[in-house]
Every structure is written in structure tokens, then in C-alpha cells.
Structure 1
Amino acid sequence: MPTEKDLFSEEQSMVSMSFGEHIEELRTRLILAITGLVVGVIITFVPGINLGKRIMTKMEEPATKALTEFYADQANKRSNEAKALKQVSTTYNAIIPAEAFFKEVAKLAPDLKLPDAKSLATKTLSFPMQYDQASVIQLVNSGIRPPNALVSLAPLETMTIFFMVCLVAGLVIASPWVFYQLWAFIAAGLYRHEQHYVTKFLPFSLGLFLTGVFLCFFGVLPITLSFLLEFNVWLGIEPTLRLSDWMSFATILPLIFGLCFQTPLIMMFLSLIGIFSVDDYRSKRKMAILIIVVAGAVLTPGQDPFSQLFLAVPMVILYELGIMLVARSNISAPSRFAD
């Protein structure tokens, strides 16, 4: 535990760092972080690997799979309904123009002597036909080719989305370097006895970020999409997903989840350096939940309440987890704001 003399000397060294030096430190760290991001994006364009294309194809899979399963399920329901129908045959007369009929006959049998076309202009032919509802439904059902792919509605939409995917993929690839620069900038404003927290928290910060990204992509997105498709079924609407809408949803939401998963770590870090205590977190719980709900509405790319809810609920759970971690750690760091 540092003595008051040590803390005073460290505080003096921190005060000697001017505001301009802090801005310069921020500028340096931003340049290094952006350089790492550029390198990560370049990796997605390396010929032969085609990482950007593979990632985009992988990101399309949940939507394509959900649409395929949805329309296959609807086809099975129609088939089962058709099988359950009574095999009742109905007879009706099919009436067709005589001229059109004999034109088709002439194509199949050109040597056949047929009536003059002018004499058939106003005449029709009637044929008795039989059908049953089940057979007709199954026949129509077998001929339906459902849309099982994302739809692009603008010439530059696919290219724009591809570059956005490469940018996000580059950020994930460069995330260890970017997070290091972020924590290094934070360390520049800490006491010397607090700077070792940066090296301890960096691996956990990176791990939580990647956990949030992959949990959202492989867990939250498929569940959310299935639920939204079933909601369309309930309203009787055939769903079609637009490429830009889905890819924006599938790229931004995992990043937001990754950042929100930093909540317990940040809470513990702020407690370790004496800014907040576990009692502060508990007393401000209602305010924190309100801020989380508002943040969920602002940060989620979609306007629907479901994606906002899927973000707000995990954030509240993570906030409670942060309180538990701070309480179990028995943190008693000297407050910076103490008299």
C-alpha cells in the first residue's frame, strides 16, 4: 500500500503533465490505434485469402438459413393442411378460346387439317375437368420457389456493405492492439501504483470484448431473427430481408455487445482506483438501469424494441455482475476525492 508521501509525489508528477501533453498523448494513441485498424482492414483484402468475402458470406448465413427454414416450414404446413383435406373431387368446365387452342395443335401437328382461323375467332371450346383441393394445393406448393437469400435494392448497396464488413472485421482483428492503446492512454493518467492494473485488465478486457461479439453473433442474432420471422407469420406477412438492413444489424450489434461486456471490468477498475465504491453502485442502481435502457435505444441499429431489449437486459445483468465482483473483491482503495 503506498504511503501518503508516495501518493503526494505521484500526484505532483501527474499535475506536471499539462493539458497539452494529455492531448498529445491522446493523439499519439489514436494514430497508433488507427494504424492498427488500417492493417487489420488490409488483411481482409489480401488476395488468395479473401477474408472479407468469407466473413461477409459467414455473416449472411444466419439470415439465409433462417429464411430457408422459415419457408420450408411454411411449405410443410401447407402440405400437411392439404393432406388433411377430404379427397373431394369437383367437376367443372374449362373454357378456352378455340383459335388459341388450334394454334397450339397446329404447332404439334402441322400436317393436320384444321378449321379456318377466321371461323374460330369468336368461338370457344369447353372441356369437363375434375380436381381435388389437396392435389391442387400440393401441386402449387411444389412449384413455389421461396426467396431464401438477402435482397439488394441499390447498385452500390452490396459494395458499401462489403467495405463496412471489412472495416468491422479489421477492427476485430486489430482489437488486441487497439485495446492496448486505449488502456495505455488511461495508464498515462494514473498513479504509478495504479498503472499495473492496466496490464492485469488488458487480457480480460480483450476476452470480454470478443466474448460479447461472438455471443451476439452466434447466439443473440439467430434467436432474434427467428422471433422476428415468427412475428411476421403471426401477422400474415411474407418476410424478405434487405442486405443493408441485415448486415448493418449483424455488424454493429455484435460490436456494441462487445463494448457493453466491458461493464463489470470498468466498474471494478473504477473501484480499484478509488473513484466509486460498491455502495455507490448499489445506491445508483435505478439511475444506472435508466441510463442502460436509454443507451440500448440509442446504440442499437434497428428501430424495433426487441433489439433494444436484447441489449438492455444483458447490460443490466452485467451491471449486477460488476457489483458482485466489486463486493467479493473487498476493494478498499483510497478515494481520490477524499478530503
Structure 2
Amino acid sequence: MSVWAAVLALIIERVWGYPDRVYRILSHPVVWMGWVIGKGDETFNKPDETSFETGRLVGAVCLGAFLALVLVVTQPVARLFSALPGGWVFEAAVASSFLAQKSLGEAVARVAAALREGPIEAAREAVSHIVGRDTAGLDEAEISRAAIETLAENASDGVVAPLFYLVLFGLPGIAVYKAINTADSMIGHTSDRYRAFGWAAAKLDDVANFIPARLTALLIALAARWIPGAVPGGALRTARRDSIRHASPNAGWPEAALAGALGFGLGGPRAYKGEVLDLPAMGDGRRELDADDIDRALTLYRRLLDVLLGATVACAVVVWVV
């Protein structure tokens, strides 16, 4: 049931996204998760009062309790859906809220539109909503690279990875994955406040994304076959060569694959909270990118979504036949 639910969830979210009316009434499951994580951070994270080892243990216990809570909530819902006639449709509708195909594409497209329409401050504002780096002084090429890098990384974190766990473990699987990913985004940092408390969240997120990140690189290579001028083999070669340079064990795979597929030069220095980090480059191509290059990356992203849907349908058919 979960594989067919995954197919329907992909279609629902890609076409309609998360309805604004539902958001206004119920907010969003990830917002609920963020609230719980924030309360745990506020209550139990005391970096000035505890040792690193104690802080790490407390963070791990809090994360475990949080994930257990997610399972306690989603397991009965999943069992209820499985007992209902056509319950997989309800499972798909709920699971679609944990995917980000539509919202990711729209957010990146807004950056390209802002670059075209000007002024550049509008593009800086648009890209600031989808990246964590400082954006106030970015020029056109830096804004374009930031948007494309985010598109590549979040194709994995926001689409491929949650779908992967939905197919394997149903609604509880996708919910637990999003809980891990949300915890990492909120507390999985190397700042003094979160170095200990967020250690478990960061490590578990690395484990959870290990396979999906590499699957995303493969999907980028497959999708590149339908993009004029793209180089599918270049995607895989660049991913294998450059991904190990990235600070993350996973994020470099989709980023380098996209750079190799489209002949872009991504990565490099960027600033976070005023501190400039000299990060490695991904790909050997052009670094002076613009709105047209963002559009080209979005075209590749859409073909990736097509390939992903086709692969999920094939998995569903195989499971159904077997």
C-alpha cells in the first residue's frame, strides 16, 4: 500500500502542494515538529552549565524522545488507514505534506524572476528565504549559484529522501525522516550553543541521508539525458570526484552532480553570520551564472521529478505483481 501511496503523494504534492487554506487552519506538520524541537532546546540545552559529554547525552535523549513521539502519533494513524477501504489514498494525502517538490521549485523560480525584474536587492531578499548564508552583498552570479546549490541539495532532502522512507516504511517512515531533518536544520550546527546538544541530530541526519543523496546524484544523471546540452556522464564523474570535498558527507553528491551535468561551477567561499568560509568548488564549469542558468537547473529538476515518479510507479507495479 505504501508504494502506491508514494506514487499518489508525489502527484498530489507536485500538482497542488500544501494548500494555503489548510496551512492557515492547521499550520504544517513540520511547523509542529519545529515547535517541539524548540521547546526541547529551550528547556534542556544548557551549554554554559553542562560539560560537552553531558550536553551530547541530553541532546541524544531529547532527540530519541522526540522521534518516539512522532512514531507514537503516526503509527496508529497508519494502522487506521490500512484498515480502511482505500486507506492508501488518505495515507498519500497526509504523506504529501512531507514532500517539497512544488514549494522548492517555486521558491527557486522566484529568485530567477527577481533577478530579471530587479533591483538586485529583491533577488537577495528572495534567495535569503532558501539559503542560510549571508545574502546582503551577493552579486548576480553569487545569487544564482546559491539558488542552484539549494535546489540540488533540497532535491535530496526535500524530495528523494522523504519519498525513499515513505516507500520503505510508510507514513511513520516519512514522518520520522522529516523529524530528523528538521531537528538537524534547527539544532545540528557547530555553533557553541549546539555543538553538543545538536550532535546526535547532525549525525543521525548524515546517516538518514547517506543513500538518498547518492540516489539523487544518479537521478540527476538520468534526468540529464532529456536536457539538450547536458552531460549525464559528467554528472556522475563530477559527483564521484568532488562530493568528498564537501563539508557534508551527503550534500556534495547532488550539488556536484548538477554542476557536472550542466557545466556549472558551484560551491566556493560564502559567508555565514559575517564569517567567510572557504568551501570547496563543485564542478569545473562556468561560475558567472544568471537567471537563465537557474531556469536551466529548474528544467533539470523537473525532469528529475519525472524520472522519480516513473521509478516509483515501476516499484509499485513490481510490488503489486510479486
TM bucket normalised to smaller: under 0.3
The structure with more radius of gyration: 1
Q: Give me the TM-score of the superposition, normalised by structure 1.
A: 0.25
Q: Give me the TM-score of the superposition, normalised by structure 2.
A: 0.26
